[in-house]
Structure 1
Amino acid sequence: MGSMAARPSLADAHPPMGLRERKKLKTRLAIRRAAYRLIAERGYEATTIEQIAEAAEVSPSTVVRYFPAKEDIVLTDEYGPVADALRARPAGEEPLDSLRAVFREAVAGVLRHEPELMRQRAVLLARVPAVRARMTEAMAESSRLLSQVLADRTGRAADDLEVRVFTAAVMGALREVTVHWAERDQQDDLVALIDRAFDTLGGRHSLQAL
């Protein structure tokens, strides 16, 4: 795939934030870190929005304004929309290669900046049905956004069946990678697991060969 350093990064896809945006980001991060800290101490079900608000030094209404549901706190991230990063990939690149590069970089970025949050998120996804259900909803929305970008890049309609199936397959593979990683106590290299998943999607690994 070539050197990752020579390609656009997630950060490159977004202009610098203004003061207001930085304040919003700071608040979101404070809420998330408070939530993860409390969940680690008390468990997911025992942690309430009110407790998270108190720990983050904001009001409960502020928490709900930024994150409508508790599940959203542990599922969303601050490293830029993947759809924008996908749009920035080279126009002639194979869609599967583009998505592989984008998701590898996104995951590697979170692991560099907030590895513990990534680990806690994966554990919650594997163990808490409400989190897994909300992730399925979030992935459906992400799949819709990615389908639009892929449709634009390939000249197809956004509701094209092949585009939808292709994108849904990628998102489903990423969900299974995360659950697999968590169930194996996060001993594996997560980025390497993403590569294995994309190799499988691309036909480089055959189940018959296992």
Structure 2
Amino acid sequence: MPDQPSTLREQRRAETQRTIQAHAVRLFTEHGYDATTVSDVAEAAGVSPMTVYRHFPTKEDLVLVDQNGRLVAERIIASSAAQPLVRRIGSALIDSAATLTRGGQRDDLTAGEQFLLARLRLMISTPALRAKHLDNHYALQQAIVDALGGDAADLDTAFHAHAAASACLAAMHTALVRWAEDDGRTELPDLIAKALAAAFDNDIVDTGPNA
């Protein structure tokens, strides 16, 4: 089984990354982003600062790195190319949000929801993170375009894909801010669906099981 060592290494790497990020978000929340150093995070996680930088090249990445781009791309690739672009993108954003939050009850947030909520609050309240978040926004937009096949030689196709992705992500950002302001009391997938419906037409953004 030649793939097993690589798989084990990837699992250990992912676990180390999750541990480091969890400690980072906790320290940033408790003591403030600017007051917490990478060395503080490394000490709390029981690793060296070099290990932290190996997983997170910048301090901002400790908050901003997530799996959303991969989840969204997977869902777009699995969707029907016959659907309108905004329906494919919107449904993927809603489905990935449902996976990340797992539909926890609003009076009893899951650990994943609490972690996402803490990260969102840091992004909203920290100027350095707001600036870096724009880079992540462009990276997610490009991941969506690539999943749609919009990086082809046809410039018009790529342009339409970029425009649709940008518009959908703007709607999602509005929903994320509202979710953070509501302290996670409302369902994030529902908020994203409402934001998309406000930006587009209800008959364009299909949130049903066959989306």
Q: Which amino acid aligns with 1:46?
A: A
Q: Which amino acid aligns with 1:26?
A: E
Quick check: 34-43 or 178-187, which moved more?
178-187
Report how far residue 118 of structure 1 moved. Answer: 0.8
Corresponding residue number in structure 1 for 2:59: 70
Whether the aligned pair in 2 keeps the contact of 1:148 and 1:158 (CA below 8 Å) is no
Give the one of 123, 126, 133 matched to 2:124.
Answer: 126
Whether the aligned pair in 1 keeps the contact of 2:38 and 2:59 (CA below 8 Å) is yes
Q: Using the alignment, how far apart are the partners of 2:165 and 2:96 within structure 1? A: 17
Report how far residue 78 of structure 1 moved. Answer: 3.6
1:111 matched to 2:109? The reply is: no
Counting only pairs closer than 5 Å after superposition, residues 32-47 of structure 1 correspond to structure 2 as 32-47=21-36
Whether the aligned pair in 2 keeps the contact of 1:174 and 1:194 (CA below 8 Å) is yes
Classify the secondary structure of the residue corresponding to 2:36: coil
Report how far residue 154 of structure 1 moved. Answer: 9.8
Give the one of 159, 166, 169 matched to 1:168.
Answer: 166
With structure 2 as the length reference, what TM-score do the two structures score? 0.79
Give the one of 87, 91, 96 matched to 2:86.
Answer: 96
Counting only pairs closer than 5 Å after superposition, residues 129-144 of structure 1 correspond to structure 2 as 129-144=127-142
In the alignment, structure 1 segments of 5+ residues that lack a partner are 1-16, 206-210
CA RMSD of aligned residues (A): 2.5
Quick check: 163-172 or 148-157, which moved more?
148-157
Report how far residue 86 of structure 1 moved. Answer: 1.3
**Structure 1 segments of 4+ aligned residues over 3 angstroms from their partners:** 151-160, 184-187
Q: Using the alignment, how far apart are the partners of 1:84 and 1:37 within structure 2? A: 30
* Greater relative CO (CA pairs within 8 A, separation 6+): 2
The count of aligned residue pairs is: 189
Q: Which amino acid aligns with 1:90?
A: S
Identity %: 30
Residues 1:154 and 1:102: Cα distance change in structure 2 (over 3 Å)? farther
Residues 1:153 and 1:102: Cα distance change in structure 2 (over 3 Å)? farther
Q: Using the alignment, how far apart are the partners of 1:24 and 1:158 within structure 2? A: 40
Quick check: 114-123 or 37-46, which moved more?
37-46
Whether the aligned pair in 1 keeps the contact of 2:117 and 2:183 (CA below 8 Å) is no
Classify the secondary structure of the residue corresponding to 2:185: coil
